[in-house]
Amino acid sequence: MAETKKLFIKTYGCQMNVYDSERMAEALGGNGYEQVGTAAEADMILLNTCHIREKAAEKIYSELGRMRELKDAKPDLKIGVAGCVAQAEGAEIMRRQPMVDLVVGPQSYHRLPQMEAKAGHGEKVLDTDFPEEDKFELLKARPKSKRGPTAFLTVQEGCDKFCAFCVVPYTRGAEVSRPVDRIISEARDLVERGVRELTLLGQNVNAYHGLGLDGHDWPLARLIWELAEIDDLKRIRFTTSHPNDMSDDLIDAHGRCEKLMPYLHLPVQSGSDRILKRMNRSHTRDSYLRVIDRIRTARPDILLSGDFIVGFPEETDADFRDTLRLIEEVGYGQAYSFKYSTRPGTPAAERGQIDDTIATERLVEIQALITRQQRAIQDAMIGKEVGVLFEKAGRMPGQMVGKSDHLHAVHVDSDTLKPGDLRRVRIIGSNTNSLSGVVL
Ligand code: 5AD
Ligand code: SF4
């Protein structure tokens, strides 16, 4: 038996990267690696990267720069770059940082063990293919170890929508949905290992249509109903959704499926029809608001979350005001806003960019509105009774922290609760980023 080698993975970007990092660690487990918490003790460092905005991508090069010293001190140290920067920049990474040994794009993770073996022999290896084979099928199964009460599970990957600002269709490729039986068995396995809440992931998760148990294509709603049959699975969430794919059956599931949590991340990006058109979003402000109406009719207490881009090319002050008005109209319990970032190869990168100072001012204004709104919705939870799935001990002794049905962090005083316990809690206080409550 070969000696154990140490693997350090640093994950950037979205939840799908978090999921991918877990799967990569498992795959490299077969090559004799165990995961460690710091770069200094590692024999191999893997950066799982994000390319969504320029800042995210540039971070990787500064991180690699900082690793120079580690590599000088330990020449056998292997350094790998995975994820969306790997996909987008490929061999360019090795040109800019020759100490990088391995570059692997998201569609080639199942080939990582072979790549690692080659890197171990001193080869430089690069794989940014979009292979035909099913990577999930070929990725080594998750080991049977115990794990925490929440987990991500990728059910769909890639995007066919081509929003004018976005790199995802290029880094993650075309939309692919995993077959239902594979997802169910992965879910069962996670539940056996202690998971009580699953978040189904996809760049366009509500466009999911995978091979169903009856040989026909199943939409996301059908997959959710099937997962809800797993007894010890208590909660189901999914993210990220596109407004155009909020089908009636999915909205109905939000109304009737008790395990499907009342939270929906439904990015709109802008409240201006003119900008939505230039973004190639293929929906309008009004069609988005109508979808929200239908969802709220089915599930009145649903908490909505969104993403917004400010400073998109040609965005006028009037367009920006339209976005602020839309936020006021919807009332988001959670929202993320970003200054537009030019991404090479995307259609919007070719257009006249707006002044950065103006974009920054808009970002400050939108974030102030979002923060006010989030806080008001959070404060309105005081006095309400919610379900909380407890995850870990809080910062204070005798405290436990978990997430409410609406995904608010909630802490309570308790010496008896354990991770994985699901309890009814009365909310008694609202703080900057969390609620406090008492177990009923
Ligand atoms: N610039 C700024 N924000 C972007 N996003 C995607 N591409 C860009 C870009 N080029 C934001 C969108 C998306 C979220 C994941 O990131 O709001 O929903
Ligand atoms: Fe970033 Fe998108 Fe890649 Fe996730 S899929 S890591 S958000 S570029």
pLDDT tier for residue 287 given thresholds of 50, 70 and 90:
very high
Which is higher by pLDDT, 196 or 3? Answer: 196
pLDDT tier for residue 2 given thresholds of 50, 70 and 90:
low
What rounded mean pLDDT belongs to the chain? 95
**Does the beta carbon of 177 lie inside 6 Å of ligand 1?**
no
Which is nearest to 30 in space by CA: 141, 128, 134, 191? 141
Distance 48 CA to ligand 2 centre (A): 10
Name which residue sits closest to atom 18 of ligand 1, judged by CA. Answer: 307
- What pTM, to 2 d.p., does this model score? 0.95
* The pLDDT of residue 225: 98
- Number of helices and strands in the chain (H, E): 14, 21
pLDDT at 1 over 60: no
C-beta separation of 171 from 12 below 8 A: no
* The pLDDT of residue 142: 67
Domains of the chain: 5-127 (3.40.50.12160), 151-379 (3.80.30.20), 385-439 (2.40.50)
% of the chain at pLDDT higher than 90: 93
Which is nearest to 82 in space by CA: 151, 159, 16? 16
User: Lowest-confidence range among 1-15, 173-187, 230-244?
Assistant: 1-15
- 72-95 b/e (C-beta count within 10 Å ≥ 16 → b): eeeeebbbbbbbbbbbbbbeebbe
164: left (phi over 0), alpha (psi -120 to 50) or beta: alpha
Name which residue sits closest to atom 2 of ligand 1, judged by CA. Answer: 340
**What does the block give as tokens for 238?**
């999914």
% of the chain at pLDDT higher than 70: 99
User: What is the arithmetic mean of pLDDT over 112-118?
Assistant: 96
pLDDT tier for residue 145 given thresholds of 50, 70 and 90:
confident
C-beta separation of 411 from 436 below 8 A: yes
pLDDT at 214 over 60: yes
Q: Among 24, 51, 167, which residue has the most ligand 2 atoms within 8 Å of its CB, making it the best to mutate?
A: 51
User: Tell me: the pLDDT tens digits for 240-277?
Assistant: 999 999 999 999 999 999 999 999 999 999 999 999 99
User: What is the arithmetic mean of pLDDT over 374-392?
Assistant: 97
pLDDT tier for residue 56 given thresholds of 50, 70 and 90:
confident
